[in-house]
């Protein structure tokens, strides 16, 4: 083989070897230094408030033995510790409600009647929601019957 083609063959062979070496180095680097993907953090909140709303008294002459209370379907506003509205919930016909919330301190604010009536009224309820637990509460609406 003349000198020119031999140099060309040598250059091609060396270029091929360099290419193979580069691919091998890149492949080894990916194995030795893989791109780290953080593990996904659980996003499910496993805490909140469960409660029941009662209306009472619903009869005259109510006593401790016979309080004359019944479940009540009502609107409630949930405020965070800075008094920001963070949720609204309506209790069911059986008075129950449930709301998923992260741990913290909250105020449950009963919403007054929208028809302008003075009754029923409810007082705010303060509640502390712990980590991975539902806090059970009761919200009472007063009918004004005495």
Tell me the domain boundaries of the chain.
1-37, 48-142
DSSP 70: E
pLDDT of residue 2: 55
Q: Helices marked H in 2-129 — which ranges?
A: 3-32
**57-79 tens-digit pLDDT:** 998 887 778 788 999 999 999 99
Q: What is the distance in angstroms between the CA of the first residue and the CA of the last residue of the chain?
A: 119
**Domain 48-142 maps to which CATH number in 2.60.40.10, 2.50.20.10, 2.40.110.20, 3.40.50.12780?**
2.60.40.10
pLDDT in tens, 76-117: 999 999 999 999 999 999 999 999 999 999 999 999 888 878
Distance CA 71, CA 119 (A): 16
According to DSSP, residue 58 is labeled -
| pLDDT, mean over the chain | 82
């Amino acid at each position: 083989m003349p000198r020119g083609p031999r140099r060309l063959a040598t250059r091609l062979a060396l270029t091929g070897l360099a290419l193979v070496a580069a691919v091998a180095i890149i492949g080894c680097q990916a194995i030795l230094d893989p791109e780290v993907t953080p593990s996904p953090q659980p996003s499910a909140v496993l805490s909140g408030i469960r409660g029941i709303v009662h209306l009472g008294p619903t009869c005259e002459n109510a006593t401790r033995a016979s309080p004359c209370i019944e479940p009540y379907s009502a609107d409630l506003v949930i405020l965070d510790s800075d008094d920001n509205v963070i949720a609204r919930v309506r209790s069911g016909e059986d008075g129950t409600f449930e709301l998923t919330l992260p741990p913290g301190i909250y105020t449950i604010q009963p919403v007054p009647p929208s028809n302008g009536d003075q009754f029923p009224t409810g007082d705010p309820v303060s509640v502390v929601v712990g980590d991975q637990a539902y806090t059970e509460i009761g919200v009472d609406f007063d009918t004004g019957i005495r």
